[in-house]
Amino acid sequence: MYRYDEYDQQIVDERVRQYRDQVRRRLSGELTEEEFMPLRLQNGLYMQIHGYMLRIAVPYGLISSQQMRMFAHIARKYDRGYGHFTTRQNIQFNWLKLQDTPDILADLASVQMHAIQTSGNCIRNITSDEFAGVAHDEVVDPRPYAEILRQWSTFHPEFAYLPRKFKIAISGSKEDRAAIYAHDIGLAVTKNAQGEIGFRVVVGGGLGRTPIIGSEICEFVPWQHILTYVESILRVYNQYGRRDNKYKARIKILVKALGIDEFKRQVEVDWADLKGGPGTLTGQEVDRVASCFTDPAYETLSDHDSKLNEFKADNRSFSHWLQRNVRPHRIPGYVSVVLSLKKTGNAPGDATAEQMDFAADLADRYSFGELRITHKQNLVLADVRQKDLISLWQEASVYELTTPNIGMLTDIISCPGAEFCTLANARSIPLAKLIAERFESLDFQYDIGEITLNISGCVNACGQHHIGNIGITGVEKKDHDEWYQVSIGGAEGNDSSISKIIGPSFTFFQVPEVIERLLQVYVRERIEAERFIDTVRRIGHAPFKDHVYAADFIAQDEEVADKHIVAPAQYEVPYFSPRF
């Protein structure tokens, strides 16, 4: 993976110094909270219900075992012993003190990490495919370009005070696993007919209040020109994006208002005199960065391991795990393993310090010391020898990292929701728990097959509910109680789509029953191996809607009971949000 040279290190160290001084000025009252806010936000520090939340960048989701151990250290020393991995491949710590944050950043800098631009109206941490470099369907390895873009966007002087946040995702495989259509800029690295490398550029996607699938602005930007092309997109947006209404400030609104053709024209006018200029990328720089992403020392192995088959035959859990959590690798004898952070009862994406340390050990022993964080809030060991799978599985099971549910119903994506977030209309994590408990049966889940379920506590869509096959959103109602909207038909990847709401909203305890009914329709209507999403697309929303609303919901016993009981055990927090 990428290693800092003295320049990278110096910039990050100077950032720590600058930030330390900003915190000092805030604590001494020299800076008002209003002035400090954008400064801390550009450093990933949010003010949340329980205090400060720090979001740390994991550039394009790639992390070394040493860096993972630093997260464990931060969790223990400054937080309550756990952290939360996010859909943007970052990690968040929820219980920090402002005074500690400069030290945390210094600790991070010592392992080549930072929290730069993980929040605020700037270019955010760049996300990518969690299987970059190892995927069997990869056309071009996106990691060198992701790193080049990381450097280009870091402290870009012109684009630090954009109308709104700006998210870039990059993918290099046939199947898009980076949700490039749901980003402000989505990049697909690819090759043209002549075999030259370039980028298909998609712009104006985004979720939030106004979900929009991005539009293609250029079919092929040769790699040399990608930085200047992206610069021109940003410059047009910086000048003309709306600043009068923060709900209309994302680039997607500008692209919609101008139309993609007019937007493209403006970008190309700006680009005309940058193209070929000094910002043009050099082959030497691509080679330099790519030299950090060369293959590890793979052994020459063959693909079949008879011991594995034997073990599989008489161990059902293991064979489930092989089926769901282990993915093919482009090198014979190797596989990628997904460590599930979705054990029923836990908050999706949460990991304890012990799990982090342990995952780091696994990486050292089985995967060349590297890990990846997925946008579905799990961890990946990308380069595991097939013959190590049994011992890896046995060890990881002890740390509850082998729930065989990847890509299935209980692999739920969830935002932090009302326990943590001041913007929430409703709880997300406890709902994820309730749903996971209801559908815990593996037989049931395997029967349902591939499905995505995304939960956001409000319209901001941090849980990306618009691109879940089933999406759940906490909505605002006059009575200030918790209500959830349920939508179906969303998807990410090559055939991305935005989900549609099925009808009036539901209470917390009704949601699992709603899901049950949606699945009943699917089971009734599906043809052969059709996935849930395929059935929705084929038969439309109506049959689902009709069935869900056909019968009354019977009040559950728990509803009478204390709402607190559904919070995951590690949160010793009351059910509380200032909004209620």
Partner 1 sequence: MIIKNKAIVADDWTVLRLQENETAESVHVAAGKVIVPLKVWQAQRDALQQRKEIGVWLASDERPEALKDDIQKFSVIAVDFPKFSDGRGYSIAFNLRARLSYTGELRAIGDVLRDQLFYMQRVGFDAFAPRPDRKIEDALKGLSDFSEVYQTSFDRRLPLFRRAQRKGNQAESSQ
User: What is the rounded CA–CA span in Å between residue 79 and residue 93?
Assistant: 7
Complete edge-to-edge strand list for the sheet that includes strand 127-128 = 127-128, 168-171, 185-191, 197-203, 215-222
Of 36, 46, 368, 509, the one binding ligand HEM by CB under 6 A = 46
Of 289, 421, 432, 453, the one binding ligand SF4 by CB under 6 A = 421
Of 15, 69, 88, 143, the one binding ligand HEM by CB under 6 A = 88
User: What is the rounded CA–CA span in Å between residue 43 and residue 184?
Assistant: 20
On whether the CB atoms of residues 443 and 478 are closer than 8 A, the answer is no
Which amino acid is residue 211, in one-letter code? P
Of 59, 144, 186, 416, the one binding ligand SF4 by CB under 6 A = 416
- Which tokens sit at 371? 């890990």
Q: Which does 7 bind (CB under 5 to 8 A by kind): partner 1, ligand HEM, ligand SF4, none?
A: partner 1
User: What is the rounded CA–CA span in Å between residue 104 and residue 42?
Assistant: 16
Does 429 contact ligand HEM by CB under 6 A? no
Reduced to 3 DSSP states, what percent helix, strand and coil does the chain have, rounded to the nearest 5?
Answer: 40, 20, 40
Residues 174-233 that bind ligand HEM (CB under 6 A): 182, 206-209
DSSP assignment string, 6-35: HHHHHHHHHHHHHHHHHHHHHHTTSS-HHH
User: What is the rounded CA–CA span in Å between residue 157 and residue 491?
Assistant: 36
| CA 150 remoteness from chain centre | 17
Does 333 contact partner 1 by CB under 8 A? no
CB of 26 to ligand HEM, least distance (A): 19
Does 86 contact ligand HEM by CB under 6 A? yes
Does 53 contact ligand SF4 by CB under 6 A? no
- Closer residue to ligand SF4, CB minimum distance, 144 or 417: 417
Of 287, 295, 303, 559, the one binding partner 1 by CB under 8 A = 287
On whether the CB atoms of residues 413 and 464 are closer than 8 A, the answer is yes
Of 415, 453, 467, 566, the one binding ligand HEM by CB under 6 A = 415
Residue 340: DSSP 8-state: P
Does 499 contact ligand HEM by CB under 6 A? no
| Pairing assessment for the beta strands 413-414 and 453-456 based on DSSP bridges | parallel
Of 461, 515, 519, 533, the one binding ligand HEM by CB under 6 A = 461
CB of 429 to ligand HEM, least distance (A): 10
Q: Which does 424 bind (CB under 5 to 8 A by kind): ligand HEM, ligand SF4, partner 1, none?
A: ligand SF4
Q: Which does 539 bind (CB under 5 to 8 A by kind): partner 1, ligand HEM, ligand SF4, none?
A: none
DSSP assignment string, 503-552: SS-B-GGGHHHHHHHHHHHHHHH--TT--HHHHHHHH-SHHHHHHHHHSP
Of 429, 462, 486, 536, the one binding ligand SF4 by CB under 6 A = 462
- Closer residue to ligand SF4, CB minimum distance, 374 or 464: 464
Of 99, 239, 309, 520, the one binding partner 1 by CB under 8 A = 239
On whether the CB atoms of residues 340 and 378 are closer than 8 A, the answer is yes
User: What is the rounded CA–CA span in Å between residue 143 and residue 128?
Assistant: 8
Q: Which does 18 bind (CB under 5 to 8 A by kind): partner 1, ligand SF4, ligand HEM, none?
A: partner 1
Name the 3-class secondary structure at 451: coil
The residues of the shown chain that bind partner 1, judged by CB under 8 A, are 3, 5, 7, 10-11, 14-15, 18, 22, 35, 38-39, 121, 151-163, 227, 235, 238-239, 243, 273, 277-279, 281-282, 284-285, 287-292, 294
The residues of the shown chain that bind ligand SF4, judged by CB under 6 A, are 415-417, 421, 423-424, 428, 456-458, 460-463
